Amino acid sequence: MPVLHTGRRRTKLDRSYNGPPRQGPVRHISPAQLNLERVYEQNRINIQKKDATKAPEPAPGPAAKGKPRLLLMGQRRSGKSSISSVVFHKMPPNETLFLESTARIQKDSMHSFMDFQVWDLPGQLDFMDPSFDLDAIFCEIGALIWVIDAQDDYIEAINRLNSTILNLQPSYQNVNIEVFIHKVDGLSDDYKLDIQRDIMQRIQDELSDHGVENAPITFHLTSIYNHSIFEAFSKVIQKLIPHLATLEALLNDLCRSCRFEKAYLFDVLSKIYIATDSSPVDMPSYEICSDYIDVIVDVSEIYGWERPKEYIEFLEGPPWNKKLDDQVACKNAESVIVLTDMKRPIMLREVNQYLALVAIMCEGSHEKMPSVTMNVEATVTGLSEVFEITKHRK
């Protein structure tokens, strides 16, 4: 079932209790329920596996590009588990205060437009221990995300990052290293940039002292309390997407033909954008589109319950005498909201079960929705094809 249709949060139905949900999105689940979910998840994975047998199995080993792995590393309490909970499990940021220190490697599999894994590594893990099987961890790696707590003394974190890079360099030269300068909420803009400059300098100096130049390192300023963490992940993930250029070209065409200001292709579950048109990304437009997805998901969760079959029969009977499927114009989710200011509408269109197209339109577009819808339809078809290809090629 597409994420947009089912919502993502579990609700407990109980009328006697007039209060906040007793369970957050992920962590606060009773053991029994957790177990149920595990069983469910297992089944789901098994079913997926069965389905997958129809398509050729991906080759094993590092060549299995289908399932890149993102490693979250860094000092204890730097915020790794918080990041993975907020981005991939929709935990509200303030609930991360209840997270306990991670004792063992947490492996999460994300089944989305592209399957990938997120590994949350405990801060105190010592990789340089010779008994440690580096290969097992780094073989399928797509990106190494190093999280640095910007509100703390970061010298030790940088030293460890440097030695990790130097250690990995000989065997894994092409690993993207993404440094998240994290918890920058509450820091002034100037201070943020100062820190970033300082951290970059320290890493470059150390690496070039060891003769390593041009290692693929990217820096991001992040916080779980705003969209920056999603933006950063978007950029990390985009590097791993095959056919990115094709996706971008399709979005460019759409923006041109419909005079859209900006269009994003989103992974609905994580709200990472996996492609956008070539006009510059600005945080405000990303935020509003991302928040709009939340609205749709949340609203669908509330009203998307399964109607009884007698009711459906009634709706398909006279005077319509048509299957519900034939009464709707589009089988996927569609939505539009007209903002009062400048009459600017925002539209959303589901692409497939994982992806949604969200665009900021220009003034007056709401009156021309039929023609916009046609163009969007064409783009959606194009986008879906790209993902079909990717899936089958592996």
Partner 1 sequence: MDNLNNLSIQDEPVASPASEPRKQKKKKVLLMGKSGSGKSSMRSIIFSNYVAKDTRRLGATIDVDLSHVKFLGNLTLNLWDCGGQDAFMENYLNQQRQHVFSNVGVLIYVFDIESRDFDRDLLTYRSIVQALAQFSPTASVYLLIHKMDLIPPVQREDLYNHRVSIVRSKSATFDPTPFATSIWDQSLYKAWAEIIHDLVPNLDQIEKHLGSLGKMIMAEEVLLFERSSFLVVSSWCSKEIFTGDKDNPAQNPTYDRNERLSNIIKNFKQSTSRYTGTPKSAEQFSVFELKMPNFCMFIVKFTTNTYLGVVLPPGEERFNAAMENCYIARKEFEDLDSPAKKSADRGATSESLETA
Ligand X SMILES: Nc1nc2c(ncn2[C@@H]2O[C@H](COP(=O)(O)OP(=O)(O)OP(=O)(O)O)[C@@H](O)[C@H]2O)c(=O)[nH]1
Residues of this chain that interact with ligand X (CB under 6 A) are 74, 76-82, 96-97, 99, 101-102, 122-123, 182-183, 185, 223-225
Query: Tokens 């609203």 label which residue?
Result: 299
Q: Which of 211, 308, 318, 370 binds partner 1 (CB under 8 A)?
A: 308
Largest CA distance in the chain: 80
**Residue 300 interacts with partner 1 (CB under 8 A): yes or no:** yes
Q: What one-letter code names the amino acid at 354?
A: Y
Q: Candidates 115, 248, 253, 287: give the one binding partner 1 (CB under 8 A).
A: 287
Q: Is 317 in the site for partner 1 (CB under 8 A)?
A: no
Give the chain's end-to-end CA distance (angstroms, integer).
23
- Say if CB 237 and CB 272 are below 8 A apart: yes
Helix (H) or strand (E) holding 69: strand 69-74
Return the residues of window 55-114 that contact partner 1 according to CB under 8 A: 92, 94, 98
Q: Which of 145, 168, 296, 386 binds partner 1 (CB under 8 A)?
A: 296
275 vs 245: CA distance, rounded Å: 9
**Contact indicator for 336, 289 with CB cutoff of 8 Å:** no
> Are 316 and 322 contacting, i.e. CB atoms less than 8 angstroms apart?
yes
The three-class DSSP label of residue 21 is: coil
Contact with partner 1 (CB under 8 A) among 63, 328, 374, 389? 328
126 part of the interface to partner 1, by CB under 8 A: no
Stretch that binds partner 1, among 61-69, 131-139, 259-267, 319-327 (CB under 8 A): 319-327
> b/e for 95-118, b at 16 or more Cβ within 10 A?
bbeeeeebeeebeeebebbbbbbb
Cβ atoms of 113 and 389 within 8 Å: the answer is no
CB of 151: closest distance to Mg ion in angstroms? 17
Which residues are near Mg ion by CB under 5 A? 81, 102
Residue window 334-373: x/- pattern of binding to partner 1, with contact defined by CB under 8 A: xxxxxxxxxxx---------------------x-------
Residue with nearest beta carbon to ligand X: 123
Task: Give me 81's structure tokens.
Answer: 């588990």
341 binds, among partner 1, ligand X, Mg ion, none (CB under 5 to 8 A by kind): partner 1
Site residues (vs partner 1, CB under 8 A) = 4-5, 11, 13, 15, 17-24, 28, 30, 92, 94, 98, 284-285, 287-288, 291-292, 294-296, 298-308, 310-311, 314-315, 320, 324, 327-344, 366
